[in-house]
Structure formats: structure tokens, C-alpha cells
Amino acid sequence: MATARPKHDLPPKPDVTAKLELITPAKADALLANRAPNREISRARVDELSSYALAGRFVMNGDTVVIDQYRRLMNGQHRIKMISETGIPQWVLVVRGIKYEEAMHTIDVLGGRTIAQGIKVLGLTMEQFEDLASLDTKQLQATASWVWQYRSGEWSTLGGNCSVSMRPIDIIPVFAAYPGIGPAVREACQFKKLLTGWFTVNQGAFLLLGGSFRDSGMASRFLHQVATGADIGINAPAMRLRQYLHQVIRDTHNGRSRRDAMAHAILAWNAFAAGKELKRGLHWHHGMPFPRFDPDITPTTEFSGTLDLSGVN
């Protein structure tokens, strides 16, 4: 017997229209003159589309050109640029009235954009995030993922890795809320050759960020001890963490994850910051609440009026 589907209220009908339109070069020029905040137009992409059009091989495949509620070109700029440059009109499915603020970050092509392009899409400037420009994008994204999952409680009591995949466009609000991410990644990269295996550069950066809410200099000393093991006693928190990490590396079938390593790292950091030795080692397992930094990390509200920080704070 089929299970009855639950009843739901109908969502409100969007005030949008969709129409097949012939975009002439003149119309294309007008659209390009009124673009919504977006990434720079790719010369290579326009040339590729133009080659198809000039060879008579460009086809209307149903991909839409989107005009927002302010009558600005929101999506499809490369096709529109191609029409402008080749002088060849094309039939295009045009959707008008999409709300830019609600929809721009959801467009699937944003997945391939860089952090810099994502910043521009959100109507911001690189000057607001200048410390990110020279840093490794993958390390920035991974560190932002740690922050997001830690703050959201995504894995506060569950097992598993820090595995949420965040697009560049998604992590800009995290950087805005936690401007210390950039400096933390830059410093952690100095230990790249030492932080390997079950404690990586982005984990080191997350630890530095969390520790900075107590004392950034102290957090740096702790990470240095973890990375080098130099001049510390057997009961020192950093040594206990090193022992745990080495045990994890040796026992590759123990089912532990990088999240487990991070939990032990936070415990070790809190002990280090409190000036305690750990004579009985580090103790944490999946049935226990995920450790919190002391004091806990908190977001800045500097950009809260500009960006959606839901899930971050």
C-alpha cells in the first residue's frame, strides 16, 4: 500500500517571466552596459562561444539569460558578449524578475569561481579581504569548513571527517565573520612540511584561529611545539597530542578521523593555555560532546548587514 504524501502549502508564485527572445547586437550592448555585480568576463570563454557562432554551430540549448528585478544582466554574460562581438543575433530564453540578493549565490556556475570572483559577485571589494589574495585557496576553503562545522554543531556529537565541501561563494561570509582565518592560514603554512598525516595545515590554521581568542602568541607557541616537539616534557599538552597523532598514523585501521584529531587538539590547547600538564594523556571519544575552545571563538558583526551569516554564528 502506497504511503500518503504529506500535504504542504503551495509556495508563493514568483513574479518572474520567461520568454524566447531574439537578442540582437544592439540589445546585447544594452544588456552589457547594465550588468549586476558578477565575475569578470572570461576572454577565453567568449572566444570559444564566438567560434561556434561564426561557424554556425551555436545552438539554443535552453540555458537561460537572467535579468534581475532591477533590469540588470544577472546570468549569461558570456553569451551576450558573444552576440555583441560577432554581430550575430541569437534566440535566447530570457527570464526576467529574479531577485538578485536571493538567487545570485545559488546559480550553479558559481561552483567554479575563485574566492576573488565570489567576493565581486557579492558586491564587495578585495580590499575588505586583502589578506586572502595571496593564500592557498584550498587551505582557505578547508579552514573555513572547519569553522563552519564547529560553529554550526554539524558534528558536535557525531563521528566522521570534516567533509563539508564549500564553494568559494559560500565561504566569503565565513571570512567576513572571522577575519583571523587569513592570518592563521598564512602562519600554519610555515609548518607545512611538519603538519602532515592526521594533522594538516588547515587543521593547524583552525587551531591557531581558535587559540587567538585567548592569545595569538600563545597559540603560535603551542602549534610550534606540536609541529616540532622541541623542548617539551612528556606530560606537556603538545607532547600528549603528538603521541596521540603518531598512534593514529601507526594504526591506520582504527576508524578515527581528522575530526577526532581536532577534538584532541582542542583539549590539548585548552590545557596548554591553562598551564596544565596532562599526566594521564588526552581522553575523548565519539560519545562525548565535541570540545570547545576556552574562550570560544565568536564571529565579528562587521559585515552582518551585508552578508548572510546564517549557519556561521
Structure confidence by residue, pLDDT tens digits, 48-58: 999 999 999 99
Please state, in angstroms and rounded to a whole number, the distance separating the CA atoms of residues 22 and 173: 38
Q: Which residues contact 270 (CB under 8 A, 6 or more apart)?
A: 291, 293, 294
Q: Which residues contact 57 (CB under 8 A, 6 or more apart)?
A: none
Task: Read off φ and ψ for residue 150, nearest 5 degrees.
Answer: -65, -45
| Run of H or E including 175 | helix 168-177
- What was the pLDDT predicted at 312? 38
Nearest to 72 by CA among 105, 104, 110: 104
| Residue pair 89/25 in contact by the 8 Å Cβ criterion | yes
Q: How confident is the model at residue 210 (pLDDT cuts 50, 70, 90)?
A: very high
- What was the pLDDT predicted at 140? 82
Least confident of 35-44, 157-166, 272-281: 157-166
| Bridge partners, residue 154, by sequence | none
Grid coordinates representing 51 are 567560434
CA 55 to chain centroid, in Å, comes to: 39
pTM: 0.61
pLDDT more than 70, % of the chain: 76
Which amino acid would we find at residue 65? Answer: V
Which strands sit side by side in the sheet containing 73-75, from one edge to the other?
Answer: 17-23, 90-98, 64-68, 73-75
Please state, in angstroms and rounded to a whole number, the distance separating the CA atoms of residues 74 and 95: 10
Indicate the SS3 state at residue 202.
helix
Please state, in angstroms and rounded to a whole number, the distance separating the CA atoms of residues 187 and 172: 20
- What was the pLDDT predicted at 177? 84
